């Protein structure tokens, strides 16, 4: 079992980064549609619509890349968690106000038929992603990571919280 623990983080990173990267990339080709999707929530004043609509996809891609590579995993997971909370709040508020819009999470967005809204599944999905981010905030170290590595299985010592990303041929020998 303990062998598998560091792989849990790898799985969380894989799923979260894939969703963030896809969501970000799909919003880039049609910035006007991204702006309409943001506007459809009727939450932001007009001057903020374009910066959010154009900047958010890049932020999603950046967080997705950090998680994919396994660099600054805890910070990236905190960022992803904040995004998910913001998305959840926006979707819940759209639902509560009786808007009938697509969340615009993966491009598209805007109005849909009242029968075609998917607020519940959007909320469940965001909650799931929030949970993955929370796991990574708690345990950022995992396998297949560039810097935030979990201790290799041969290491039986217990310092899993710090200093596991030491560079080989470390300083002691050099300095003495």
Cα-based distances in Å from 112 to 32, 80, 108: 18, 27, 10
Long-range contacts of 46-49 (CB under 8 A, 24+ apart): none
Contact yes or no for 119/90 (Cβ under 8 A): no
Give me the least distance between CB of 31 and another protein, in Å please: 4
Return the number of the residue (9 or 57) whose C-beta is nearest another protein.
57
Residue 171 Cβ vs another protein, minimum distance, rounded to whole Å: 6
> Among residues 31 and 153, whose Cβ is nearest to another protein?
31
**Measured distance CA(71)–CA(59) in Å, rounded:** 15
Place of tokens 């560039």: 146
Whose tokens are 């506007």? That residue is 39
Q: List residues near another protein by CB under 8 A.
A: 28, 30-36, 39-40, 42, 46, 50-51, 53-55, 57-59, 62, 66, 71-72, 75, 99, 101, 107-108, 110-112, 162-163, 170-172, 175
Nearest partner of 136 among 68, 73, 87, judged by Cα: 73
Give me the least distance between CB of 128 and another protein, in Å please.
25
Instruction: Assign 111 to helix, strand or coil.
Output: strand
Residue number with CB closer to another protein (1 or 32): 32
| Minimum distance, C-beta of residue 42 to another protein, in the bound complex (Å) | 8
Q: Is the CB of 34 or the CB of 135 nearer to another protein? A: 34
């Amino acid at each position: 079992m303990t062998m598998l623990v560091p792989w849990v983080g790898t799985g969380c990173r894989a799923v979260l980064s894939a969703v963030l990267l896809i969501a970000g990339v799909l919003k880039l080709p049609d910035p006007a549609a991204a702006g309409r999707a943001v506007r459809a929530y009727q939450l932001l004043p007009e001057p903020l619509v374009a910066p959010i609509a154009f900047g958010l996809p890049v932020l999603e891609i950046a967080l997705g890349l950090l998680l994919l590579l396994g660099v600054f995993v805890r910070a990236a997971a905190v960022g992803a968690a904040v995004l998910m909370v913001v998305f959840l709040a926006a979707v819940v508020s759209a639902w509560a106000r009786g808007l009938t819009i697509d969340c615009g999470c993966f491009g598209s967005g805007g109005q849909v038929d009242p029968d075609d809204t998917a607020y519940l599944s959007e909320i469940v999905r965001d909650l799931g992603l929030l949970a993955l981010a929370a796991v990574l905030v708690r345990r950022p170290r995992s396998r297949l990571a560039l810097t935030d590595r979990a201790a290799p299985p041969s290491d039986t010592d217990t310092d899993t919280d710090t200093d596991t990303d030491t560079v080989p041929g470390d300083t002691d020998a050099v300095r003495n």
